[in-house]
Structure 1
Amino acid sequence: MLAIILLLSGIIGLLHLIIMGLEMFSPAEKQADIFKMPLSFVKLPNAQIALKNMGIYNGCLGLSLLASLILFSGQQQFKVLMVLQFFVLIVGLYGGKTVTKSIYLIQALPAAITLLLILTQFV
């Protein structure tokens, strides 16, 4: 069970780095398609600033998840992972409600599963 928690946390961390890349470095056409937004909106300078800002947050969250796999161990590691997965869950729920429903499946569900596994293992 512990290996599954660590594996899922690593995958979720990598996923957030991919999301960061899409939000910060993808062409506007790809961003509009992926995030289900009108291209005319995504091309606006302020929309690009907002996407890049969200990218930084997703990148930091992804790096935090991956770093926690290296920097911590034992109970401490799982406490840190629990907090980070809770953050991912909240971000995923908000994104699913405000941006596109697919975020529920891509972001919120994996975080919820991982969080539940951590809670059943350590609480």
Structure 2
Amino acid sequence: MEYLATALVLLVAIEHVYILVLEMFLWTTPKGMKTFGMSKEDAESTKVLAANQGLYNGFLAVGLFWGLIHSNPEFAFQIQVFFLACVMVAAVYGGATAKKSILIVQGLPATLAMVAVLMNAV
């Protein structure tokens, strides 16, 4: 179970690095606009907000990586639970306010990782 928990937390962290790249660097490119379903005008007018959003996704990723490498297993567990909970809350909020697919794309991996982390602690 430990390997599964680690793999799922790593997956969520990598996903949030990808979101950081999309929001901070690719927002106004064809890839970014297609991913978020925006016109060039909308992308240009919201790129500063998107970069800020991307930075926050980067913080989530860094927190998850930190939880994976911390030398104290009890504290590593707490870090992982905290940051996975943050991702889950953000997914619920994003799913309710922006795009329902966020619940699946971000919420489902975070929830699976949380279950694995909690089961590994038992």
Common fold, TM-score beyond 0.5?
yes
Contact 2:95/2:103, CA 8 A, preserved across alignment: yes
1:58-96 deviations in Å (ceiling 9; x for gaps): 011111111221124422211210111000001111112
SS in 2 for 1:26: coil
Deviates more, 1:20-29 or 1:113-122: 113-122
Size of the aligned set, in residue pairs, is 121
- Cross-structure match for 2:21: 21
TM-score under structure 2 normalisation? Answer: 0.88
Q: Secondary structure at the match of 1:43?
A: helix
1:66-77 mapped onto 2 (5 Å cutoff)? 66-77=65-76
Instruction: State the distance in 1 between where 2:39 and 2:71 align.
Output: 42
Structure 2 unaligned regions, length at least 5: none
| 2:42 paired residue number | 41
* More moved, 64-73 vs 102-111: 64-73
State the partner residue of 1:30.
31
Larger relative contact order (Cα-Cα within 8 Å, sequence gap ≥ 6): 2
Q: Normalization by structure 1: what TM-score?
A: 0.87
What percent identity do the matched residue pairs reach?
29
Partner of 2:84: 85
Moved segments of 4+, more than 6 Å: none
